[in-house]
Every structure is written in structure tokens, then in C-alpha cells.
Chain A
Amino acid sequence: MAKKNNKTDNINPKKGLPKINPKKIITLVIVISTIGTIVAITSIVFFPNQQNGFSELSLLTFNSANETYVANNYPSQISKADNITIFFMVKNFENKIVYYQLQIKVTKISQNISLENPLSLSNSKLLYSNETYEKILSPATEREKEEEGVQIGGYIWGPVNTTLFMNDTLATVLGTNDNLKIVFELWRFNSLIDDFQYSGIVTFLELIYN
């Protein structure tokens, strides 16, 4: 029986792997690495590192025994006669310059705190006017990011001594409650909207009002 073959069937390559010249491989590697380096340098120059950062807000008390700021021994009571002294500290790890505002509000203890929306002034009262606590901070450097505890630097605001107080006007927000929350909200200035925007960074103290 006749066997039908096309042209390719007639061509039988010799078996075995083709010889590879090491010089050619080295040349190829050099070419690829040269192109890779150019692409990498260009991307670094044109698309700088834009990783997202964060801000840190903490409440501290002063331990006079060893003269350090500590994140404990918080007060538990407040009255019209006795004010409370507390320290707050803000650190900028945002990788950019940030204009901060800290708002201190008094509200009922039952009031929920949201990370999405700030406390409404219909169910809370401002302890100080908006401009009282404002600061522009540089971002932390890579070395500063590794520091721990209370340091001093252009990326840190504080520890700032603040006096918490209560009066009859503030007490109206509590109604018949004797317990209250003093909420510390961190706001950031947004150039696009030309106003401060709630950052969602918040902390609070729960106190008994005598």
C-alpha cells in the first residue's frame, strides 16, 4: 500500500540537544540585565513609592515617680470642682506632611463611637473651640518609624497637656446620666475640600460625673 508523505515527513532531524555556547548566554544575560536596570531606574524616578501610611493617637498620664509618660492610670471620675489633667500624643506615619486638628467632645457613656462618622454636635459638646488643638507635622523617617515610646521629633505632636473639665452647659448633653465619655477625635486637613475631615482615629475616656 502506498504511503502518503508530505515534505516534512521526509525531513528527519538528527537526534540530540543543540550545542549551547556559554558566551552567547552571557551576552544574553547582560542584555536582559541592562534593559531590566533601565526599566527599574525609570520606574523609581517616574513612579516614586506611594505606600499608604497611618496616624497614631494616644492618651497618656504622667508618672511623677519616675518622670515618664505612661498609657495607664487613667482617671475615672470628674466633677465641677475637680478638673482632670491628661496628655495626648499624635504621631505622623502617613509618609506625607499632615495638618491635624484634635477635637475633644463630651457625650453620654451610651453613645456609640464610629470610625466612619464623627460624633454629631447634636448629641455631644465641644470642650474647646476647633482651633485650640491644631498642628502641622512632618512624616516620620524610616529610622523614626522604628522608634518606640515617647520621643521628640518633627513627626510627633506632644505629649500635650490638656485639662478636661465639666460645667453646667456641658452637663446638659448628659441628661439624667452620671456617666460620660470624653472623646478625642483626630481630624486631617484635606486641601481638595478645603476643610478638615474626620480621620476615623479616635480614643476616649469613660468617667463618672459627680
Chain B
Amino acid sequence: MKNKLVNRLLVYICILMLFTFFANSDVFAQSEEEAEQLIQQASEKLKTVLSMLEEMENINSELREIVLQTDDSLQLINEAKQLFKDAQYDLAKQKANQALTQLEDIEAEIAEINILVIKESWLLYSILGVASAFATFGFVFLFVKKLYPWFKNKQIEEYGNLEIIYGKEHGEK
């Protein structure tokens, strides 16, 4: 009777251990998949941010600060990749998630700067347009009031200087 009880207990323990093992391995596999996905997402976001940064023309101190933050995110992604290789999936997930959040903030910041740049460009182009219009009007005014009369006067003056000799037109001797 006693032996039977011990045997049953052993069987229960074995079943419990197997269940725990399979449950854990399932969680482990899920964690691995999640970490891989997060690293992938963060890497894609990094490429998006990089292409946005490459399009920026005026690299001022604000943008240099953003570049430093982007580099910080890159280091986090690389750390996450290393942790993933070492099968430390939870830590890898944490790092990748941190990088992703940071990169999303950077993306929003760059978009904000771009809106400001567009506004400034419009202002600059408007000033240039108005200046060009004034210059064109000025030029037309100068042409009509000064240059054309001066040219006409000069033409008349030149013609006035001409000496026409009559009587030699038809081969007269």
C-alpha cells in the first residue's frame, strides 16, 4: 500500500515536472519571438529616422543633439542583438523596446523641425518673390522712363550726325 502511494506520488511529480517544462519552453519560445520582432521593429525605425536625418540640410546644434540620441538608440539595438544571441530574451526585449520608444520620439521631433523648416522656407520664398517683383517693376520703370528714351535720343542724335549727299544716287557723274 505504502509502495503504491510512493509510486503514484512519483508519477504525479513527473507529470508536474513535464508540464512545468513544456509551459516554460512555450513561454521561452514566445519571449524569443517577441524579442526578435521588437529588434526588427527598432532596426526598421532606425533606418526611417536615418533617411529623415540624411534629408536635413541645415545641421544645427539641435539636429546634432538628435544625431547623438539616434546613435544612443543604435547602441541599444546592438546591445539587444547581443543579448538575443546570448538567449537573454527578456533583457533583449527591454533594450529593443527602449530603443523603439526613443526612436519614435526622435521621429516626431524631426517631423516637427521639418514643419518649421517648411514654414521658414515659405517666408523666405515670399520675401524673395516680393523682392523679385519690386526689382522687375523697377527694371520696367527704368527701361520705360530712362533706358528707352535714352536709346531713342541716342538714335536720333546719331541720325542727326549723318550727312546725306544728294545727287549721286543713280550713278550721276
Query: Which residues from chain A sit less than 8 Å from chain B, CB to CB?
Result: 2-5, 7, 10-14, 18, 21, 24, 27-28, 31, 34-35, 38, 41-42, 45, 48, 96-97, 99, 131-132, 134-139, 154, 189, 191, 194
Chain A residues with Cβ below 8 Å from B163 are 11-14
Interface contact A138-B142, CB-CB below 8 Å: no
Interface size bracket, B side? 35 or more
Question: Does residue B8 face the partner (Cβ distance < 8 Å to A)?
Answer: no
Determine if B139 and A35 form an interchain contact, defined as CB atoms under 8 angstroms apart.
yes
Known interface pairs A97-B67, A191-B50; A42-B128 also in contact (CB < 8 Å)? yes
| Cβ of B11 under 8 Å from chain A | no
Chain A residues lying within 8 Å of B82, measured Cβ to Cβ, are: 131
Question: Per-position contact with A for B123-146: 1 when CB-CB < 8 Å, else 0?
Answer: 011001001100100110010001
Query: B106 to chain A: closest CB distance in Å?
Result: 11
For A34, give its contact among B67, B135, B161, B164 (CB under 8 Å): B135
Q: Chain A: which residue is nearest B53 at the CB level?
A: A97
Is the CB–CB distance between A35 and B161 below 8 Å? Answer: no
Residue of A with least CB distance to B127: A41
Q: Are B162 and A3 in contact (CB under 8 A)?
A: no
Which residues of B sit under 8 angstroms from A189, Cβ to Cβ?
50
If the complex has contacts A12-B163, A27-B146, A45-B124, are A136 and B50 also in contact, measured as CB distance less than 8 A?
yes
Q: 10 additional contacts, CB 8 Å, given A10-B169, A138-B63, A194-B47?
A: A2-B173, A31-B139, A38-B131, A45-B125, A97-B50, A97-B59, A136-B50, A137-B67, A138-B68, A191-B54
Q: Which of B9-41 contact A (CB under 8 A)?
A: none
Find the residue from A41, A131, A132, A189 having the highest chain B CB count within 10 A: A131
C-alpha gap A194/B46 in the complex (Å): 12
Task: Give 28 A-B contacts (CB < 8 Å), ordered by A residue.
Answer: A2-B172, A3-B171, A5-B171, A10-B164, A13-B158, A13-B163, A14-B161, A18-B154, A18-B157, A21-B150, A24-B146, A28-B147, A34-B138, A35-B135, A38-B128, A38-B131, A38-B135, A42-B128, A45-B128, A97-B50, A97-B59, A99-B74, A131-B78, A136-B50, A136-B70, A154-B67, A154-B68, A191-B47
The answer to whether A7 and B169 touch (CB under 8 A), given A13-B162, A38-B135, is yes
Which residues on B sit within 8 Å (CB–CB) of A45?
A: 124-125, 128
Is B64 in the interface zone, CB < 8 Å from A? Answer: yes
Q: How many residue-residue contacts, CB under 8 A, span A and B?
A: 94
A6, closest chain B residue (CB):
B169
Which residues of chain B have C-beta atoms less than 8 A from A34's C-beta?
135, 138-139
Of the candidates A35, A38, A154, the one having the most CB atoms from chain B within 10 angstroms of its own CB is A154
User: B86 within 8 Å of A by Cβ?
Assistant: no
Least CB distance, A112 to chain B, in whole angstroms: 31
Provide the bound-state CA to CA distance between A31 and B144, in Å.
13
Q: Does B165 have its Cβ within 8 Å of any Cβ on chain A? A: yes
Query: Using Cβ atoms and an 8 Å threshold, which residues of chain A touch B93?
Result: none
Question: Which residues of chain B come closer than 8 Å to A137, judged between CB atoms?
Answer: 67, 71
State whether the Cβ of B112 lies closer than 8 Å to any Cβ in chain A.
no
